[in-house]
Amino acid sequence: MLEGSILKSLRDAHQPENLAGKRSLNFGVYYKNTLVALCHALEDAILGQDYSPLMITAFQQGKWYLEEAERYADLAARSQQVVIMAAPDSGFAEHPTSQRANVALVELDAADTVAQEWHLIIVSSRYTAMVLCQELSEEDYGVAGVPAADLDRKFYGLWTFEPSLVIETSALAIAHVQRYNPELGQQVAARLDAIAAQIQQQDALSELPTADHLGDIVSRVVDYLQHSQQSLTHSLPEHSSLEAVGLDYNLVSNELQAFLRIAQLIDQTDLSNPMAAAEVASLAESLGQLLDLPAWQLHRLRLAGLLHRIAQLQGAAMEITPGVSRYGDDDTIAPSCPLVPGTQILRTMNRLKAIATILNHQSEWWNGMGYPAGLAGDEIPLESRILGLVSCFQHHLAAGRRSNPDAAPDVITPPTEAPSPAAAAALAAALSACQAQEGDRWDPKLIEALALLVNGLQQGLSLSIAVPKIAAGMWMLDSHAEEDLLAAKI
């Protein structure tokens, strides 16, 4: 990374020796086409809602800003302040959008490394998002050299919805602005401080894991990426070049990243259970191994575990009333398959068809009294049964931790020796809560397997619990990801 760049400053602040409570960052490589789709999707959220954000952008060169200038007039009309950094070009400062009172231009020096970066930072009390990237250097491109086609240009960085990270990066960008315009920097810093204070309030939507607007935004991101993918297919002959294949892979990767990032945000904003996704994913995979499932199914289970809380989005949390069937006693009524609203956004990506089905039916009951389709027994997809059970187990385990600090926050990942008595008791209590619903809510075979897993944990078995590297999650998608799990069951 370039010295003096905003991206490098952020990376350095998250190095192990500087973390001080911060998490390490994962970076990926993005084609320009992917970044355009991402930025437009994140910007469109401003046009559709009254977020009134602060926007800070870096366009590399003024000519790239000019391509977006009309669009930025609409964005500025719905923003508190828009700050645009770019190396000056002819017409950069003269465009009408640049004359708006709440649009400020910062003309970067030619030697400024930020002129090699592409940033979009959006921060408000109800919506935070950013794209933070730096173009690859000639050395980074290697023997192939800098691509001749603009479509094939590549950038290194990250994108996220995470409020704390967006605010931290905003402060770094504002500090850079102050080098050129101290008065503007102070003005924008004051706006950021006010927004940061609002985000800390309990009623700020960006702090609520079930906020409806996040599902809408992710759907828009996937739509833009898919449209970009379709445009690529029409503009380039199939398999015409390795770059075309690489760009297609990059777009699909970022569709998956969109869902993983929103699932990550749900966990980060739930202080009572911030590791739910990673722990459920590991438990589900471990239970699948005990059942001797094939590798592709274990991958699918892990991905479903990482995404399982997406079902909470868009008001999707549904209470299940024990002993009350949605279909009554009329055996002539065939089970239907209504969709849990929160899983609908997953269906916008065809490669997540199977994952959406798994999540949709994780709340089914073994006795047929569950939701949403009233499936019973082996009619319920196996992965849905596993996911429902381990997420319930993890929920009880997390509750045990909160009520007894001696159970330790890493009770699922005990050391190689036996866990503490408090930790062992927490594991036993969580298992007991699940066993109480054996044969009604849970598959007896899975309860038996879970008991074996818990026994192993109590004896010192260690499970690897780690937040996934979101930019490297494509390995979890394969040809089975598009299967229709219910085709032979309903």
In the prediction, which pLDDT does 58 show?
Answer: 92
More confident residue, 70 or 65: 70
More confident residue, 58 or 144: 58
Which residues of the chain are in CATH 1.10.3210.10 domains?
A: 276-482
Backbone angles phi, psi at 332, to 5 degrees: -85, -10
In the prediction, which pLDDT does 244 show?
Answer: 58
Top mean-pLDDT range of 2-11, 134-143, 183-192: 183-192
pLDDT digits (tens, 9 = 90+) for 418-465: 677 888 888 999 999 999 999 999 999 999 999 999 999 888 887 776
Burial 446-461 (b: 16+ CB within 10 A, else e): bbebbeebbeebbeeb
Tokens of 170: 């905003």
In the prediction, which pLDDT does 483 show?
Answer: 65
pLDDT digits (tens, 9 = 90+) for 1-22: 788 899 999 999 888 766 566 6
In the prediction, which pLDDT does 182 show?
Answer: 96
Backbone angles phi, psi at 480, to 5 degrees: -80, -10
Backbone angles phi, psi at 282, to 5 degrees: -70, -40
Residue 43 has pLDDT above 70, yes or no: yes
Domain 276-482 CATH class label:
mainly alpha
Q: Which residues contact 268 (CB under 8 A, 6 or more apart)?
A: 162, 274
Residue 389 has pLDDT above 90, yes or no: yes
In the prediction, which pLDDT does 315 show?
Answer: 40
Q: How many CB atoms lie within 10 A of CB 396?
A: 16
Residues 469 and 341 sit within 8 Å (Cβ to Cβ): no
Residue 201 has pLDDT above 80, yes or no: no
Instruction: Identify the band that residue 33 occupies on the pLDDT scale cut at 50, 70 and 90.
Output: confident
Report the run of H or E that residue 122 belongs to, with start and end: strand 117-123
Instruction: Identify the band that residue 79 occupies on the pLDDT scale cut at 50, 70 and 90.
Output: very high
Name 129's bridge partners. Answer: 122
In total, the chain counts a number of residues equal to 490
- What's the CA gap between 155 and 117, in Å, rounded? 8
Instruction: Identify the band that residue 390 occupies on the pLDDT scale cut at 50, 70 and 90.
Output: very high
Tokens of 111: 């030697």
3-class SS of residue 72: helix
Q: What pTM value is reported for the model?
A: 0.70
| Stretch among 54-68, 81-95, 155-169, 414-428 having the lowest mean pLDDT | 414-428
- What's the CA gap between 278 and 106, in Å, rounded? 42
Residue 471 has pLDDT above 80, yes or no: no
Residues 311 and 335 sit within 8 Å (Cβ to Cβ): no
Q: Which residues contact 126 (CB under 8 A, 6 or more apart)?
A: 49, 51, 204, 205, 206, 213
Distances (CA, A) of 289 to 163, 210, 267, 296: 36, 32, 25, 11
- What's the CA gap between 294 and 479, in Å, rounded? 14
pLDDT digits (tens, 9 = 90+) for 264-312: 777 766 767 878 888 999 999 999 999 999 998 998 999 999 988 887 6
More confident residue, 332 or 61: 61
